């Protein structure tokens, strides 16, 4: 059974594997959202600050290369998915704070595993890239 179809079926299909080859698969859509470099960096940055909150401007400073718009979109998606909580202080201008939720912390565990894998295998990947660039097939 797959999780194709309407968004409303998500809860009822909890625990059922989707069809990652179907663009409408909720699992595929979630992986598309959490698989971006900015999501990974935001989750890591917020995890490093846990249990403290981080202001938007500080997050941006800690994430070299991210634009204000991209960080805003990333945080909006993470908040919508329940991975990040957002708190606004009603000052002028408003002060906005972010922190990972329990669900977000569980994502950081998975992302940390992926980062570890990348670090452990980067030299192999580099060698494969070099071989490919020189027309050598390492098979």
- Residue 10: predicted pLDDT: 46
Residue 20 pLDDT: 86
Angstrom distance (rounded) from CA 97 to CA 2:
38
What would the pLDDT profile of 10-45 be if each residue is shown by its tens digit?
444 555 677 888 988 998 899 999 999 999 999 999
Q: What is the pLDDT of residue 17?
A: 73
pLDDT at 7: 42
Instruction: Tell the burial category of 3 from Cβ atoms under 10 Å away from its Cβ (0-12, 13-18, 19+).
Output: buried
DSSP string over 14-59: TT----TTSTT-HHHHHHHHHTSHHHHHHHHHHHHHTTS-EEHHHH
Q: What are the tens digits of pLDDT across the range 80-105?
A: 999 999 999 999 999 999 999 999 99
Mean pLDDT, the chain, integer:
88
pTM as predicted: 0.79
Inform me whether the pLDDT recorded for 2 exceeds 80. Answer: no
């Amino acid at each position: 059974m797959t999780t194709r179809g309407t968004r409303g079926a998500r809860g009822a299909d909890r625990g059922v594997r989707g069809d990652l080859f179907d663009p409408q698969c909720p699992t595929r859509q979630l992986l598309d959202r959490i698989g971006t470099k900015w999501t990974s960096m935001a989750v890591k940055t917020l995890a490093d600050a846990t249990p403290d909150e981080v202001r938007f401007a500080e997050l941006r400073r800690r994430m070299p290369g991210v634009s204000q718009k991209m960080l805003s979109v990333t945080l909006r998606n993470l908040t919508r998915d329940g991975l990040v909580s957002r708190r606004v202080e009603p000052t002028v201008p408003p002060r906005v704070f972010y922190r990972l939720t329990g669900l977000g912390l569980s994502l950081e565990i998975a992302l940390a595993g992926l980062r570890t894998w990348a670090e452990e295998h980067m030299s192999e990947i580099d060698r494969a890239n070099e071989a490919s660039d020189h027309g050598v097939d390492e098979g």
